[in-house]
Amino acid sequence: MDICLAFKKINKNNYRNFISRKNKSMAERFKSVDFSDRIIFVPHCMRNTKMCKAKDEGSYYSCVQCRGCKIADIFTLSKELGYKKFYIMKGGKAIHNILKTEKPKAVIGIACFFEGAQAIKMTDKEKILVQFIPLLKDGCCDTDIDLEEAKKIINLR
């Protein structure tokens, strides 16, 4: 088994409980934040690696909406609602710099439970409200989410 998958499997229940509590505790305050003050982070592992033409921006990718994966739907919805920014992250480390630069009041993070728990700890420090959307199928490539569930969270108001 891939070492990152093995690590995540061992800790998954702890992370799941932590994240579930965090989402619930912030949901009402999150709803009060304007879409223009919210950022969405999605992981690059959700891209359809066989056809993705996303633009490489260094620490993240910009989706060109080839419709090869669910990121296109999330990106489209975020634009329609007026979200501040949308990033396809190559890794979690660059998120801290983006938070410092963009100063969002709230963020939505899509990630495996392990990455999600790390990101929530980081946003706690910065006092930024978070809603987390877990990957249904995790791993290091071609991962997946429940799109309808994600849309509900992105639409929270």
Q: Does 65 bind ligand SF4 (CB under 6 A)?
A: yes
Stretch near ligand SF4 under the rule CB under 6 A, chosen from 2-10, 43-51, 96-104, 144-152? 43-51
Residue 66, interface with ligand SF4 (CB under 6 A)? yes
Q: Two tokens at 94?
A: 């660059």
Among 9, 31, 67, 152, binds ligand SF4 (CB under 6 A): 67
Asked if 52 touches ligand SF4 (CB under 6 A), the answer is yes
Please identify which residue in 47, 87, 99, 145 interacts with ligand SF4, judged by CB under 6 A. 47
Residue 71 binds to ligand SF4 (criterion: CB under 6 A):
yes
**Between vectors from CA 47 to CA 40 and to CA 148, what angle results, nearest 5°?**
55
Rounded alpha-carbon distances, angstroms, from residue 84 to 5, 9, 12: 32, 33, 31
Closer CB to ligand SF4, residue 52 or residue 81?
52
Shorter beta-carbon distance to ligand SF4: residue 79 or 103? 79
To the nearest 10 degrees (0 to 180), the angle between helices 71-81 and 147-154 is 20
Q: How far is CA 49 from the centre of its chain?
A: 18
3-state secondary structure of 8: helix
Residue type, 107: V
Q: Among residues 39, 40, 45, 69, which is the contact residue for ligand SF4, using CB under 6 A?
A: 69
Cβ burial 64-93 (10 Å sphere, 16+ → b, else e)? eeeebbbbbebbebbeeeebbebbbbbebe
Q: Which of 9, 21, 29, 53 binds ligand SF4 (CB under 6 A)?
A: 53
Q: What CA–CA distance (Å, rounded) separates 57 from 19?
A: 29
CB nearer ligand SF4, residue 69 or residue 120: 69
Q: Which residues bind ligand SF4 (CB under 6 A)?
A: 47-48, 51-54, 63-69, 71-72, 88
